[in-house]
């Protein structure tokens, strides 16, 4: 579901790792939801959370202090070589350094579009642990392309069962001066154990009417066009402030799919006041169980010339299935 301030499905950690992701529509999974698991609010949670737009600040106002990083229980001691990679670590062309700590039993390497389950711990060069699924006692799952570049590169070199230590330069992590409050800066060191590779579901077929709404589609005063693909079983409609769960896929009019909860294998939950105007209006027309195709003009999406890099431009087409109204 695309938020007005969408992040990108390509390449941001709520606590640490997820700041690495910049998913597109995953862009709009929401801020940590009530009842969400600790796991989703940790490293990979960024994939599914979209921060609310910040209120404009006056030129004179000093920048706010970044939020303090959440305390980590059962801190994992930093490795002796946390500050710098040893001579026997391999260095890739990008500057990533990696050393295998435990050989894996698998044969396949994770690929673009696949999801993985891992256990990991992360430290700054001074040995301070800033995040750890090991300390939380719960593995973390996320898409290979939904994390910081250093992770994406390293994961593609690993096999299931392998545990490796990564020395990731700031340019492949969150940068030397991270834009997101609370993100660790500079070079980072991670121990990562790859537990599982999950193949993505088959992507939905591109709609035959993706180029333009057919004559049978209904059109609202705003210019939103829609056609019901499957009738729903519910009676109530969500309001502009309702939270809903949906499955969706989105395409540009040339048939390119740019985001899909279907291929991620999990529905998305968000507030209708947290997404692009076309979604806010369109989903209110639906009932639970209904699946509808929407043709959303650029003015109700990200615009014809989006300001955010990577945001899809112009009219967008979405298939949305409303699963639940909270």
Do 174 and 227 fall within a single domain?
Answer: no
Catalytic residue, candidates 120, 174, 226, 248: 248
Do 263 and 188 fall within a single domain?
Answer: no
Q: Give me 218's structure tokens.
A: 């209904």
Report how many domains make up the chain.
2
Do 122 and 182 fall within a single domain?
Answer: yes
**Position 207 in a domain:** no
Residue 113, pLDDT > 90, answer: no
Is 98 one of the catalytic residues? no
240, 268, 293 from 244: Cα distances, Å: 10, 8, 17
**Position 286 in a domain:** yes
**Position 193 in a domain:** yes
20, 122, 170, 287, 310 from 185: Cα distances, Å: 12, 12, 7, 45, 24
Do 191 and 267 fall within a single domain?
Answer: no
Do 172 and 259 fall within a single domain?
Answer: no
Residue 30, pLDDT > 70, answer: no
The pLDDT score that the predictor gives to residue 20 is 32
CATH of the domain at 126: 3.10.50.40
Do 238 and 311 fall within a single domain?
Answer: yes
Is 259 one of the catalytic residues? yes
Catalytic residue, candidates 21, 258, 270, 294: 258
- Average pLDDT of 203-213? 96
pTM: 0.56
**Position 156 in a domain:** yes
28, 42, 119, 249, 303 from 24: Cα distances, Å: 7, 19, 25, 12, 15
Do 226 and 139 fall within a single domain?
Answer: no
Catalytic residue, candidates 148, 259, 296, 320: 259
**Position 153 in a domain:** yes
Catalytic residue, candidates 98, 168, 276, 296: 276
Boundary of a domain, candidates 198, 228, 259? 198
Do 186 and 228 fall within a single domain?
Answer: no
Determine the structural domain holding residue 318 and report its residue range: 218-325
* CB-CB neighbours of 34 under 10 Å: 7
The pLDDT score that the predictor gives to residue 73 is 55
The answer to whether the beta carbons of residues 257 and 201 sit under 8 Å apart is no
Do 178 and 231 fall within a single domain?
Answer: no
The pLDDT score that the predictor gives to residue 178 is 80
Is 276 one of the catalytic residues? yes
Is 318 one of the catalytic residues? yes
Do 154 and 252 fall within a single domain?
Answer: no
- Average pLDDT of 218-246? 97
**Position 206 in a domain:** no
**Position 81 in a domain:** no
Residue 52, pLDDT > 80, answer: no
The pLDDT score that the predictor gives to residue 56 is 37
**Position 26 in a domain:** no
Residue 177, pLDDT > 60, answer: yes
Do 192 and 271 fall within a single domain?
Answer: no
- The residues that bridge with 143 in the sheet, in sequence order, are 115
DSSP assigned state of 263 = H
The pLDDT score that the predictor gives to residue 62 is 45
């Amino acid at each position: 579901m695309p938020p007005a301030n969408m992040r990108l499905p390509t390449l941001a950690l709520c606590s640490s790792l997820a700041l690495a992701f910049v998913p597109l529509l995953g862009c709009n999974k929401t801020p940590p939801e009530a009842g969400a698991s600790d796991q989703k609010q940790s490293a990979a949670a960024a994939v599914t959370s979209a921060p609310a737009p910040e209120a404009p600040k006056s030129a004179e106002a000093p920048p706010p202090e970044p939020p303090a990083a959440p305390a980590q229980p059962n801190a994992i001691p930093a490795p002796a070589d946390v500050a710098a990679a040893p001579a026997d670590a391999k260095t890739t062309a990008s500057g990533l350094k990696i050393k295998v700590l435990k050989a894996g039993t698998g044969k396949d390497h994770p690929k673009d579009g696949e999801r993985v389950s891992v256990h990991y711990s992360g430290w700054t060069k001074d040995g301070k642990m800033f995040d750890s699924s090991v300390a939380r006692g719960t593995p973390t799952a996320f898409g290979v392309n939904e994390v910081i570049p250093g992770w994406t590169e390293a994961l593609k070199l690993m096999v299931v069962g392998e545990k490796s230590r990564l020395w990731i330069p700031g340019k492949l992590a969150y940068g030397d001066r991270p834009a997101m409050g609370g993100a660790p800066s500079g070079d980072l060191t991670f121990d990562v154990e790859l537990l599982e590779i999950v193949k993505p579901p088959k992507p939905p077929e591109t709609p035959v009417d993706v180029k333009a709404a057919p004559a049978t589609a209904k059109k609202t005063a705003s210019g939103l066009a829609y056609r019901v693909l499957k009738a729903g079983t519910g009676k109530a409609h969500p309001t502009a402030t309702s939270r809903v769960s949906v499955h969706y896929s989105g395409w540009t009019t040339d048939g390119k799919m740019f985001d899909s909860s279907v291929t991620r294998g999990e529905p998305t939950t968000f507030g209708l006041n947290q997404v692009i105007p076309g979604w806010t209006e369109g989903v209110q027309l639906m009932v639970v169980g209904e699946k509808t195709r929407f043709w959303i003009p650029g003015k109700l999406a990200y615009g014809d010339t989006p300001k955010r890099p990577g945001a899809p431009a112009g009219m967008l087409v979405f298939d949305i299935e409303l699963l639940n109204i909270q």
